[in-house]
Amino acid sequence: MKAITAIIHGRVQGVWFRGSTQQKANELGITGWVKNTLEGNVELEAHGEKVQLEVFIAWLFKGPKYSKVKHVDVEWIGSNIQFSSFNIKH
């Protein structure tokens, strides 16, 4: 099991980015969380198999239909936390 953190920059709030991210994570069997930041970005932590996380990262660079992703900061991390699902934090 691997884990990443990511911050997605661009037009990513008000375009259903968090909901789409949750949906994509569920499709790929990834657990973790996603939230909006006060700076107007989206932040997440995701746990899963390396191949699924690589597909997920590629999707983050595109995002949902009305988003405009400018940049994604991704960091592979070690984590002892186990999530049972992928949730939207408010």
pLDDT 10s digit of each residue in the chain, 90 long? 899 999 999 999 999 999 999 999 999 999 999 999 999 999 999 999 999 999 999 999 999 999 999 999 999 999 888 899 999 999
In order of start, what are the domains of the chain with their CATH numbers?
2-84 (3.30.70.100)
Instruction: Report DSSP state, residue 6.
Output: E
Classify residue 68 by burial, with Cβ atoms within 10 Å: 0-12, 13-18, 19+: exposed
User: Token pair of 85, please?
Assistant: 């699902």
User: Token pair of 23, please?
Assistant: 């949906």
User: What's residue 81's pLDDT?
Assistant: 87
68-77/86-88 β-pairing: unpaired
Reported pTM: 0.96
Helices (H) and strands (E) in the chain, counts: 2, 5
Catalytic residues: 18, 36
Cβ count within 10 A of residue 81: 9
